[in-house]
Amino acid sequence: MSRFPDFRTDGRWIRSQRGSKSPVDPFIPYGYFNEQERTFHGAVEDANTILLINRECPYSCLMCDLWKNTTDEPVPPGAIPAQIEYALSRLHAARHLKLYNSGSFFDPNAIPVEDYPKIASMAERFDSILVESHTAFIGDHCLEFKNLLGSRLQVAIGLETVHTEVLERLNKQMTLDDFKRAVGFLGENGITTRAFILLRPPFLSEEEGVEWACRSIDFAFQAGVEVCSVIPVRAGNGALEALASGGFHKEPSIDSLERVLEYGIGLNAGRVFADLWDLERFSECDRCFESRRERLERMNLSQEAASRTDCNCH
Ligand code: SF4
Ligand SMILES: [Zn+2]
């Protein structure tokens, strides 16, 4: 059987596999919480993390389910600051702010440009602010926003994978050169980058999934990123379920996530985090899950390897 299906996993096919969106209110974020993270300076500090509601991202990536909590039309000016205000008034104080918007912060149809000054003024009390963007939106809007900020700006970009044939089939519409150029442009302008890296995207075996995640970390650091965040690919958007039923996708194991995190931290090239969201679905053993989760959390916060969990499920 070929590694790839005999049909194109393009935007039209990906969207045709979707279920319905969730009802959303453009003045209330769909999530907000505090999370701890190891900082550039080596301390462990709190971040206020807000999941914003805005217009759906114009890309339809094969592994993405972020469209579920988006609007079809741009939200009115003032709605994004209102969402941030809503979350900040309910969260306890933190030194860092992360604004995830299910797409690109610098897409003017997602975050109205006229809202930048208000958002920047709300971000004033934070040491750093993290936003996310596709490489296609990296440009003048980043500089405009950065110039309004007193705090450090980091932009998270989905590198996804450096396996070029897989990357193309993810419908990301980004090349590795686009990624390098975006990181270079941000760096020249005093903005740091975080790379999102997929663990076992579709079309790869478990071993290949680990290998290509490690290679992607290498590439990201060589390109100049400051932080890599490794995300195990989880189904839930319709397209991945369809590929799974054809034998083209399987979710990675928690063991693979541990191996990739060990590799990334061992490079000593920058911080590497494992995304622990919904982690239990990647575990096949109830006996060791909790200790593996704690180990990953410890490694995220310490950026040091910890001894492996001993369990006969290996
Ligand atoms: S660019 Fe990001 S938000 Fe947009 S579809 Fe792709 S993964 Fe999802
Ligand atoms: Zn076990």
Residue 314 has pLDDT above 80, yes or no: no
Look at residue 11 in the predicted model and tell me its pLDDT: 97
Shortest-distance atom of ligand 1 to CA 171: 6
Q: Is position 5 within any domain?
A: no
d(CA 45, CA 97): 11
Q: Is position 97 within any domain?
A: yes
Instruction: Give residue 60 CA to ligand 1 midpoint distance, Å.
Output: 6
Residues near 56 by beta carbon (within 8 Å), at least 6 away in sequence: 67, 70, 71, 72, 102, 103
Angle 241-247-251 (CA atoms, 0-180°, nearest 5)? 60
Which of 61, 62, 132, 178 best tests ligand 1's pocket when mutated (most atoms within 8 Å of CB)? 61
Which of 134, 155, 168, 234 best tests ligand 1's pocket when mutated (most atoms within 8 Å of CB)? 134
Which of 9, 54, 59, 155 best tests ligand 1's pocket when mutated (most atoms within 8 Å of CB)? 59
Q: Is position 27 within any domain?
A: yes
Residue 232 has pLDDT above 80, yes or no: yes
Give the ligand whose atoms come closest to the C-alpha of residue 105.
Answer: 1
Q: Is position 1 within any domain?
A: no
**Structural domain of 242:** 11-302
The band of 266, judged by pLDDT with boundaries at 50, 70 and 90, is very high
The band of 182, judged by pLDDT with boundaries at 50, 70 and 90, is very high
Look at residue 106 in the predicted model and tell me its pLDDT: 98
Summarize the confidence of residues 16-27 as an average pLDDT: 97
Q: Is position 310 within any domain?
A: no
Look at residue 150 in the predicted model and tell me its pLDDT: 82
Closest CA to 15 of 59, 51, 72: 59
CATH number at residue 292: 3.20.20.70
Q: Is position 103 within any domain?
A: yes
Q: Is position 140 within any domain?
A: yes
pLDDT tens for 86-129 read 999 999 999 999 999 999 999 999 999 999 999 999 999 999 99
d(CA 305, CA 5): 38
Q: Is position 307 within any domain?
A: no
Instruction: Give residue 303 CA to ligand 2 midpoint distance, Å.
Output: 24
Look at residue 77 in the predicted model and tell me its pLDDT: 98
Q: What's the structural domain count of the chain?
A: 1
pLDDT tens for 146-156 read 999 987 999 99
Shortest-distance atom of ligand 1 to CA 170: 6
Look at residue 313 in the predicted model and tell me its pLDDT: 87
Is the Cβ atom of 55 under 6 angstroms away from ligand 1?
no
pTM of the predicted protein model: 0.97
